[in-house]
Structure 1
Amino acid sequence: MKKILFTGGGSAGHVVPNIALIEELKRYEQLQIAYFGSNGIEKGLIEEIGVQYFQADCPKLVREKSLKSFSKNLTVPFKLIKAIRSAKKALKTYSPDVVFSKGGYVSLPLVIAANNLKIPCYTHESDFSAGLANKIISKRCKAVFTSFPETAKTFKNGVFTGAPIRRNIFEKDKIAAKVKFALPLQKKVVLVLGGGSGSKVLNEAIRQNLEILSDYAILHVCGKGNLQKITVPNYRQFEYLTDIGEAYAAADVVISRAGAGVIFEILSLKKPSVLVPLEGATRGDQIENAEYFSNLGLCKILRQNHLNELPKKIKETLNDTTLIRNLERSQFSCGNEKILSVLKSEL
């Protein structure tokens, strides 16, 4: 039996695309699938779909400029060596034919170890500008698949494939979804996505404006541990939704962070959106992602320091006929088939 080992984590954006590929590979009976990650968000998401999981303590570089962060970063090389040893042990135990990475700090030790053991590796970069982990492991991979054609040109082994997207998000019915969430059929639905761990600023912005937004029904995915006791009509909150496709189906407009994975899902479904890119101690990838699609006239951007304008921006987005027309005409290819065809050639 052939075996494939996936890795990627630290955020839902490094895991959900892997799940999209795993769900399709599950159809092949003569293929065994496993996952390598940390004790982070990826562990719960992968165990939820019943895939064997190898866990290791993977170090993360802290980007925030402070003495505390500097001290933490000094330990990263030593922790990385330990993580590589754990990865090597997992590889020898599982003995995969190929490794597929979705980037993020979790992927670094596994790809390094797999490369040392001569196991073929591939990785995928979702964002417009490559993350640090993918920059480091790119030379150890046979190919770097990308969601953006421009990104592929930044790697010698870059291959533009498009983004891996969960196919089941296209199979949901709008009315059935509204009924499931007990939402009034006549109201427009605002879907709020704050990322896998939840966005504090987005959560606060939507909750502070519930009265102003009373003309809408609201589906709010607020992240683990972020539920609040709120009894407002037509407001539904969830820590996480396993079947996000139903929420997408119900939605008329999506408010979201600007990770590439979620953007490509929103655009593939042709949903109007307001993107609130993550700022602060990041490499600025979400700002680049949001600006790329905003310049194409396919979304609106709202910066964090202007979240008081959220109700106005929601109304503006829903009434923007040019934006809606641009979305209807747009085409974004799902990268699943191109990626899977290459992986299957190794099996």
Structure 2
Amino acid sequence: MKAYSCEVIEIKTILFTGGGSAGHVTVNLALIPKFVDMGWDVKYLGSTHGIEKELIKQTTNVEYLSISTGKLRRYLDLENLKDPFRVIKGIYQAYRLIKAMKPDVVFSKGGFVSVPVVLGAWMNRVPIIIHESDITPGLANRIAMPFASKICATFPEAKEHMKSDKALYVGAIIREELKSGSAIKGMTFCDFTRNKPIIMCMGGSLGSQRINEILRRNLDDLLSRFQIVHICGKGQIDQSYLTYRGYKQFEYVYGELVDMLAMSDIVISRAGSNSIFEFLSLKKPMLLIPLSREASRGDQVLNALSFKSSGYCEVLLEEDMDDISFKEAIHSVFENRFEMIERMNKSENDNAITKVMQIITANSL
């Protein structure tokens, strides 16, 4: 008589979190398909109405769950009085959800929604891996770090600011689909031609009113030499510019972004870490206008200066920006774009995704 054995294959579960801006989601979007392909059960815990929900909806085989969350504001607002109660509620909700789903590991990209998730995971004794994109950690990650098993850093300098033996330098995680863009598709989508070079301008996933205003104020001059695609942020489309030839504006783009990047000669952007490393991977010369130290903790200024020291970009500080300096900086980037691309070609391209996946797998239950 033959003996038959029934082997039980254990399916592991990974819970992702992070949100509030696209920068707190893009790393997760790069990792999620890898774990889906490996047969893991992938879940995402975010806010009810945050941008992370919209972005994760574009993926497949991922269950999205939501919790109550507050916002870590740097300005006075009556909502600050309500937020501690929202966070406490979110911690309770995250604890209950995590207890029920029993994930093997939690991967947190940061942002205010991640704090209740990290605390809920820690109370359930689930290993937590944190990712920090900037040179200095954000407030949410600073709160979460004591509860983490490992902290993955994008910049080598970040380990000095974290002062933790949990911190590991992994490099920049880049979405593979970014390199699949078609310049022809991008130009067709924007109704552009090959007759003039193309600038992509974006002020982060939430947009930048200051950048939007100065760009539009100087459109007539700039359009004499360039075509411009402008990702201006939710609610910031200006109807009076819809008829301008060679200028296209969008609140936000999803699938078309890879094609728009492929067609662009230079990029004007804030200096969020995920975005600028994506531009670096695509060899796109940059004009970086970081959020000022008054409007943030100064992380974007440090990111931009690090890239400038490597010769990948020009930096225009917001407090120094006026019509003249803005146009001069754009023309400088364009004139020096080939030297910037040459330096980008020499940049190291470590396989950060593989490193992070190994860290996650090694620290799962």
Q: TM-score, normalised by structure 2?
A: 0.89
Q: Give yes or no for contact 1:144–1:158 (8 Å, CA) kept in 2.
A: yes
Identify the residue that residue 7 of structure 2 maps to in structure 1: none
Identify the residue that residue 280 of structure 2 maps to in structure 1: 267
- Structure 1 CA distance, aligned partners of 2:79 and 2:295? 15
Q: Give yes or no for contact 2:13–2:104 (8 Å, CA) kept in 1.
A: yes
- Structure 2 CA distance, aligned partners of 1:331 and 1:171? 20
Paired AA for residue 36 in structure 1: L
Structure 1 position 325, deviation (Å): 2.7
* Deviation digits for residues 294-345 of structure 1 (CA, Å, limit 9, x no counterpart): 1222111112231422222111101115433322322243421111122233
- The reply to whether residue 211 of structure 1 matches residue 220 of structure 2 is yes
Q: Give yes or no for contact 1:165–1:334 (8 Å, CA) kept in 2.
A: no
Q: Give yes or no for contact 2:197–2:227 (8 Å, CA) kept in 1.
A: yes
Paired AA for residue 279 in structure 2: I
- In 2 relative to 1, CA 16–118 (structure 1 residues): closer, same or farther, beyond 3 Å? same
Q: Give yes or no for contact 1:267–1:332 (8 Å, CA) kept in 2.
A: no
Q: Give yes or no for contact 2:69–2:83 (8 Å, CA) kept in 1.
A: no
* Deviation digits for residues 144-184 of structure 1 (CA, Å, limit 9, x no counterpart): 00101121343220011112211111122333432343211
- Structure 2 CA distance, aligned partners of 1:162 and 1:221? 27
> Which runs of structure 2 are paired with 1:122-161 in the superposition (5 Å)?
122-153=129-160, 154=162, 155-161=164-170
Identify the residue that residue 330 of structure 1 maps to in structure 2: 347
Q: Give yes or no for contact 1:191–1:255 (8 Å, CA) kept in 2.
A: yes
Q: Give yes or no for contact 2:181–2:260 (8 Å, CA) kept in 1.
A: no
Identify the residue that residue 52 of structure 2 maps to in structure 1: 42
Instruction: Return 5+ residue gaps in structure 1 as ranges.
Output: none
Paired AA for residue 323 in structure 1: M
* Deviation digits for residues 62-108 of structure 1 (CA, Å, limit 9, x no counterpart): 212xxx44x64454443322110011122123221110000111111
Identity %: 38
Structure 1 position 52, deviation (Å): 1.6
- Structure 2 CA distance, aligned partners of 1:255 and 1:187? 17
Structure 1 position 23, deviation (Å): 2.5
Identify the residue that residue 244 of structure 2 maps to in structure 1: 232
- The reply to whether residue 288 of structure 1 matches residue 302 of structure 2 is yes
Tell me which of 329, 332, 338 is aligned to 1:313: 329
CA RMSD of aligned residues (A): 1.8
Structure 1 position 58, deviation (Å): 1.2
- Structure 1 CA distance, aligned partners of 2:166 and 2:107? 15
Structure 1 position 61, deviation (Å): 2.4
Task: Indicate the SS of the match to 2:43.
Answer: strand
Paired AA for residue 93 in structure 2: S
Identify the residue that residue 111 of structure 2 maps to in structure 1: 104
Paired AA for residue 147 in structure 1: T
Q: Give yes or no for contact 1:7–1:103 (8 Å, CA) kept in 2.
A: yes
Tell me which of 351, 357, 364 is aligned to 1:340: 357
Segment of structure 1 superposing worse, 207-216 or 337-346:
337-346
Task: Indicate the SS of the match to 2:201.
Answer: strand
Identify the residue that residue 30 of structure 2 maps to in structure 1: 20
Task: Indicate the SS of the match to 1:242.
Answer: coil
- Structure 2 CA distance, aligned partners of 1:167 and 1:232? 34
Tell me which of 62, 75, 89 is aligned to 2:73: 62
- Structure 2 CA distance, aligned partners of 1:94 and 1:187? 54
Q: Give yes or no for contact 2:182–2:258 (8 Å, CA) kept in 1.
A: no
Paired AA for residue 178 in structure 1: M
Bigger Rg, which one: 2
Paired AA for residue 238 in structure 1: F
- The reply to whether residue 3 of structure 1 matches residue 17 of structure 2 is no
Q: TM-score, normalised by structure 1?
A: 0.93
- Structure 1 CA distance, aligned partners of 2:72 and 2:184? 45
- Structure 2 CA distance, aligned partners of 1:190 and 1:249? 11
* Deviation digits for residues 108-143 of structure 1 (CA, Å, limit 9, x no counterpart): 111111011111110100001111111221121110
- Structure 2 CA distance, aligned partners of 1:328 and 1:96? 40
Give the paired residue count.
Answer: 342
* Deviation digits for residues 265-309 of structure 1 (CA, Å, limit 9, x no counterpart): 011111100011112331111111111111222111112231422
Q: Give yes or no for contact 1:37–1:56 (8 Å, CA) kept in 2.
A: yes
Identify the residue that residue 298 of structure 1 maps to in structure 2: 312
Task: Indicate the SS of the match to 1:220.
Answer: strand
- Structure 2 CA distance, aligned partners of 1:194 and 1:332? 26
* Deviation digits for residues 190-234 of structure 1 (CA, Å, limit 9, x no counterpart): 001111111111111221111111121111111122222221111
- Structure 1 CA distance, aligned partners of 2:100 and 2:196? 54
